[in-house]
Homo-oligomer: A and B are copies of this chain.
């Protein structure tokens, strides 16, 4: 009669303790399956568990974190959440984190360095135990990340190779991807090929170009300078489409002796399809187009965009697994240095590429 819970706010561990007849510490030990729980009688465990269940006890995570100095939280800094590139990566992260007991704390930096720093500080204040950075090409390291890593925060970057800056990174095998793209065109019979390269600033650009060049060397295939353009640096993701369109149109209106075009990424390639069309060149009949990434939009166009797929969900998952490994044994992870993990891309053939037909080039519209 007395001792009833009047202010029945939340059920705490002492409620369970009192109700079950044991002490709070025993309850804690049992419910956490702590090492010492090996010495607790089975019957005791049973009783405690059932009363906890019956009362609907849920531990207070804030009290727990305060005491244990652990948060089971990992930060996910997204440099631009509206970049179609990253949502599948997030999927992979979410999947890999599911069931591990870690909670992702996602922040969108909005392509903005200041916000990036601000949110990073918030994450640190929330005591994240590790950090995943989902970077796009606009991402610029500002030193803050490095300082955090020095202070012992495990960090993995996905989407860009920042291993030279000292960060463990997960990216796609760009060189292989470039080679796969041109190989696909080659196998379709294309020999004279145009290209829109990525921004020079970006290492991905040169890697993919390497792959392309390597494949070309020793084969009867040419990429003439008049058929090559380069995307400007520091472009925001949305302008890439426009730039691709403009450059492709420019190429097409010049020397038209090419039958296929390689875009730096899907947005470039989709832009190129637009530009070529505007220049009166039909895709794929007169010019095949291939991209890189396999963003969702690539499959929604007509014709669908043939592309080199980055295994984004897998990249997210692998990144997460790396981080979890670093969390479980920090010393081993530190000893491993900062390697880059490069994942194998895959050719996704759609309608924008086709076998080379008789007319090797297009002059103008009929």
Contacts and interface: CB of A to CB of B under 8 A. Distances in A.
A274 B302 contact: yes
Contacts of A315: none
B301 A300 contact: yes
Interface in A79-129: 81-82, 84, 87-88, 90-91, 94-95, 98, 103-108, 110, 115, 122, 125-127
A300 B241 contact: yes
A203 interface: no
A299 interface: yes
Instruction: Describe A's contact surface by its main secondary structure.
Output: helix
Contacts of A87: 81-82, 87
B81 A84 contact: no
A267 interface: yes
B302 A277 contact: yes
A297 interface: yes
Nearest to A103: B122
Given A103-B122, A300-B241, A108 B84 contact: no
Contacts of A297: 296-297, 300-301
A222 interface: no
Interface centre among A66, A105, A300, A302 (most CB of B within 10 A): A300
A301 B71 CA distance: 45
Interface residues of A, number: 45
A39 interface: no
Interface stretch (A15-23, A55-63, A156-164): A55-63
A105 B108 contact: no
Interface of A: 58, 60-63, 65-66, 71, 81-82, 84, 87-88, 90-91, 94-95, 98, 103-108, 110, 115, 122, 125-127, 241, 267, 270-271, 273-274, 277, 283, 296-297, 299-302, 304
Given A62-B66, A274-B302, 20 more contacts: A62-B62, A62-B65, A62-B127, A63-B66, A81-B90, A81-B91, A81-B94, A82-B87, A82-B88, A82-B296, A84-B296, A94-B108, A98-B115, A241-B299, A241-B300, A267-B300, A270-B302, A273-B302, A277-B302, A297-B300
